[in-house]
Amino acid sequence: MIKYQLKCECGKEFESWFSSSKEFDKLEKKKMLSCICGTSNKITKQLMSPQVAIGSKVESDKQKEIFKNVQKKLADLRSYVEKNAEFVGDKFASEARSIYYDKKNVRNIYGNTTPEETNELLEEGIEVSTVPWISKTNS
């Protein structure tokens, strides 16, 4: 895992974790990174200083415990969503619009969108959230 300090073209700065630097590069190339502001996918890495491990084993164990706790919470979130919503896959944007505009077949859904589709939904006033989706093998 690697943590990067990121900056959006809107000026917001935030941190995010990636499985590797190659993973960040792949997501950036595919324009799959998006800002917490929800309006842009033009994200750049900022200069960061490496964390030098000078701490004790107790600090390392504490960090591992925190990481395991976060992984568990993300796995619990995934489980909750899967149990309480319908997976609509790549049809998420069209299904969300159908629910929002037609008010028929109102239900909880989850699925996949591109950053552009997410921005369009938000511009239309349709509330959507991007959730970190931990794989079942990592939980």
State the DSSP code for 138.
T
Ramachandran angles phi, psi of 14, nearest 5°: -155, 165
φ/ψ of residue 58, rounded to 5: -60, -45
Q: Which residues contact 100 (CB under 8 A, 6 or more apart)?
A: 124, 125, 126
CB-CB contact of 12 with 35 (8 Å): yes
Q: Which residue has the tokens 């319908």?
A: 86
Q: How far apart are CA 112 and CA 90, in angstroms?
A: 5
pLDDT digits (tens, 9 = 90+) for 19-69: 777 887 888 888 788 877 777 778 887 766 565 555 566 677 888 888 888
pLDDT digits (tens, 9 = 90+) for 57-95: 667 788 888 888 888 898 899 899 999 999 999 999 999
Can you tell me the distance from the alpha carbon of 59 to that of 56, in angstroms, rounded to the nearest whole number?
Answer: 5
pTM across the whole model:
0.54
Cross-strand partners of 45: 6
126 pLDDT band, cuts 50/70/90, is very high
